[in-house]
Structure 1
């Protein structure tokens, strides 16, 4: 009689690796840094695991931008790292204002992330 243990282990392992839909939305920032020459021209680059999902539009001269873009990723897995990089767009090179990283969990969550160079990124994600 053959053992069903290998089949059972395969089923259990596949349950832990189920892919789910990630939806990232409602991104906004507050109090992004300004200087005497200009106000921040902010945008956000979105990464989940090793996949680059894209970036938002640049919001020119706005220390409190709100981005309308929503990002969806169908191959997300619980405990993948969601990474949001906030930049100030400039002519020669873009300045990194800060990075927000967190392991994603099933459900809907709203987070605030304090940026290294000042300001806060606010966002919501759903994994399900």
Structure 2
């Protein structure tokens, strides 16, 4: 029997194993969020990994450049999962979505800027490891 066959089988088995890792999302802040008729944005962010919600930040009232101190952790994240951050403005009837940021997870630590569809930028850092 060719000795390369068992090695090939081992490589195929190892490549199909998904490695779970801890995801940490932190350092969330926004800049230049939109103002509508003299009303400054009351913003918060929801965070999810794949189909799992990791939670949401507190609301930062009347701040076009909010900074959130919450950190989000998830112990079952996998490389190539989709990280989704959604920015909302609190309103009386329903909250307006200012934009969605999505990124496929990679192992390591990364800082990203995401341009929101209704104006402004979300800045965040994540670590997968």
| Structure 1 moving runs of 4+ over 6 Å | none
Following superposition, the deviation at residue 6 of structure 1 comes to 9.9
Q: Indicate the SS of the match to 1:74.
A: strand
Q: CA deviation at 1:12?
A: 3.7
Q: In structure 2, what is the equivalent of residue 91 of structure 1?
A: 92
CA deviation vs aligned residue, 1:105-128 (integer Å, no higher than 9, x gap): 000000000000000000000000
Where does structure 1 lack aligned partners over 5 or more consecutive residues? none
Per-residue Cα deviation, 1:47-79 (whole angstroms, up to 9, x for no partner)? 111101100000001000000000001000011
Tell me what 1:119 maps to.
Answer: 120
Two-structure CA RMSD over aligned residues (Å): 1.7
The CA deviation string for residues 9-57 of structure 1, in whole angstroms up to 9 with x for no partner, is 434422xx00000000000000000022411000000011110110000
> What TM-score, normalized to structure 1?
0.91
Deviation sequence 1:82-106 (CA, Å, 0-9, x none): 0000000111100000000010100
Could you tell me which runs of 5 or more consecutive residues in structure 2 were left unpaired when the two chains were aligned.
none
How many angstroms apart in 1 are the aligned matches of 2:125 and 2:14?
32
